[in-house]
Amino acid sequence: MQIYKILRGPEWAELRSAQQSAGAPIDVADGYVHFSTAAQAAETAAKHFAGVDELMLLALEADALGDALKWEPSRGGALFPHLYGPLRLADVLWAQPLPLVDGVHQFPAGLE
């Protein structure tokens, strides 16, 4: 199962440069890297990145993250994937821009 991380441009640049990251400021503050499932990603973008341009959407394979990935309740009691360890560039399957069109982030077709 793929899970998804949304990063701002500078956070993506840092990950590419350092090869790993503790994540966005909210991730550092909470002590884990926040991810979303395909079904949760658009709501995450709307709630936490409203109006933010130049975002990147990263896909990772949940099973490849091993025991460091925990599924924990969050919004409305839904289970969200949280990574208790660094976000590593080597774990990223793909990354692509998440354009903002008329105030709405445009996710790739067939996100699963």
| Model pLDDT for residues 9-52, shown as the tens digit of each residue | 999 999 999 999 999 999 999 999 999 999 999 999 999 999 99
Summarised one tens digit per residue, pLDDT across range 49-89 is 999 999 999 999 999 999 999 999 987 889 999 999 999 99
Residue 92 within a domain: yes
Higher pLDDT, 110 or 86: 86
Please determine, for residue 112, whether its predicted confidence score (pLDDT) is greater than 70.
Answer: no
In a domain, 51, yes or no: yes
Report if residue 110 sits inside a domain: no
Tell me whether residue 112 is in a domain. Answer: no
Which pTM does this prediction carry?
0.94
Q: What is the CATH number of the domain that holds 47?
A: 3.20.170.20
Q: Is residue 108 part of a domain?
A: no
Q: Which residue range is the domain that position 74 belongs to? A: 2-101
Distance CA 7, CA 14 (A): 10
Alpha carbons 65 and 5: distance in angstroms, whole number:
13
Structural domain tally of the chain?
1
